[in-house]
Amino acid sequence: MSVYVTKSFMPPIEEYQKYVEQIFKRGILTNQGPCVSELSEKLSEFLGVKNFHYVTNGTVALQLALHALDIDGEEVITTPFSYVATISSILWQRCTPVFVDIEPNNFTIDANKIEEAVTPKTKAVMAVHVFGYACDTDKIQEIADKYHLKVIYDGAHAFGSIYKGKSLLSYGDISTCSFHATKLFHTIEGGGIIVKEKNVSDKLELQKRFGHNGDNHFCLGINAKQSEFHAAMGLANFGFIQKCISERKRVSDLYDKELSGFVQRPKLQKNLEYNYAYYPVIFKNESELLRVFKALEKADIFARRYFYPSLNKLPYLLNGRCEISEDICSRIACLPLYPDLTDEKVSEICQILKEEI
């Protein structure tokens, strides 16, 4: 059987059927139905946050975050080391991305380089908690306060990480997350938005459902409402969150034990309770990475390059140099990681890596 970089967790089918039967009885499929409301409340409580919004995906969550904070057509400082959705959301809102290079330990935006990128046109910082590691939230907030900037955190990988005693998703003016099928907690497709200020949250609530309430239209909006069936999957998965994190830790610990000294790894930060969302490794160079990939594929095992290319090198962008990001992007990959990956398969993966390295 093929082994891929990730595998969606599936709850017992009876758990999902229980919620689906309720949906069929009620006949309510969307428009903030009971399952959406219940899941939103549970996730808000689990994360210890207020003003939580459950939406269709993590990309539209970023777009709504920018729009709700009135950041349209302005400069947004961001990272080149992320999935393309980070930059596409900025461009989609007709904003101008300004890239700041990453730091070399856990590949988040280098907060010490942000201030020199600020101009009179800068309106916000959109940073990414890459792989579930924490950005330097204190330094970023200090700069934001000094220059009156908004802070948005793309927390697509951050669900379940605890930083300085609270959810990593609780920082910034707005934090977003993804509940895509590949994430450690998923609703097949889906996303979340956590908003600091109640008035901004109220505005976003309107914007995510066409900008109107009943027959009263208040503002421009889009359709980011999630369906009852997606929420039902979230409710079925909810009770397994800690189990998924625990099993991911088991796999990660085994990788750590077998690969120590063979590959470079991100440095776990102080005050961070990690969620084990991914298992990134950094090879000596791109040639070594490609050689390992070829050997893994012969064994029907598929790692993935997270992330490639560095976003400042996208063909429709080509925005300056970010030397650290470009270097890391050329030689980083994520190894397979999911709850039911066996110890034997992890050992096989590690043996292939060690032979090729």
- Smallest Cα–Cα separation from 273: which of 190, 160, 145? 160
The predicted pLDDT at position 323 comes to 97
What pairs with residue 31 in β-bridges? none
Q: Yes or no: say if 253 and 245 are a contact pair by the CB < 8 Å rule.
A: no
Tell me the residue type at 93.
Q
Cβ distance 55 to 204 under 8 Å?
Answer: no
Nearest CA to 4 among 303, 357, 222, 234? 303
Distance between CA atoms of 131 and 311, rounded to whole angstroms? 16
Whether 7 shows a pLDDT value over 80: the answer reads yes
Per-residue model confidence (pLDDT) at position 97: 96
CA angle 164, 170, 172 (to 5 degrees): 105
Can you state the angle between helices 228-238 and 13-26, rounded to 10 degrees? 140
Mean pLDDT (the chain, rounded): 97
pLDDT tens sequence across 142-178:
999 999 999 999 999 999 999 999 999 999 999 999 9
Using CA atoms, how far apart are residues 174 and 48, in angstroms rounded to an integer? Answer: 15
Helix, strand, or coil (residue 253) = helix
DSSP 117: G
Q: What does DSSP assign to residue 24?
A: H
Burial 89-108 (b: 16+ CB within 10 A, else e): bbeebebebbbbbbbeebbb
Q: Does domain 241-356 have CATH number 3.30.565.10?
A: no
Distances (CA, A) of 328 to 26, 86, 138, 173, 320: 51, 18, 25, 29, 16
Q: pLDDT tens across 85-110, in order? A: 999 999 999 999 999 999 999 999 99
Q: Where are the domains of the chain?
A: 13-238, 241-356
Provide the whole-model pTM.
0.97
User: Is residue 299 very low, low, confident or very high in pLDDT (cuts 50, 70, 90)?
Assistant: very high
Among residues of the chain, what percentage have pLDDT more than 70? 100
Tokens at residue 300, please?
Answer: 């029907």
Output the pLDDT for position 1: 87
What's the pLDDT tens digit per position in 38-88?
Answer: 999 999 999 999 999 999 999 999 999 999 999 988 999 999 999 999 999
Give residue 72's pLDDT.
Answer: 85
| Per-residue pLDDT tens over the stretch 243-296 | 999 999 999 999 999 999 999 999 989 999 999 999 999 999 999 999 999 999
Instruction: Give the fold, CATH level 3, of 13-238.
Output: Aspartate Aminotransferase; domain 2 (3.40.640)
Sign for the CA dihedral angle at 202, 130, 138, 110 comes to: negative
Neighbours of 318 (CB within 10 A): 8
Q: How far is CA 145 from CA 3, 120, 179, 335, in A?
A: 46, 14, 30, 38
Instruction: Give the bridge partners for 96, in sequence order.
Output: 75
Total residues belonging to the chain = 357
In tens, the pLDDT along 302-324 reads 999 999 999 999 998 877 899 99
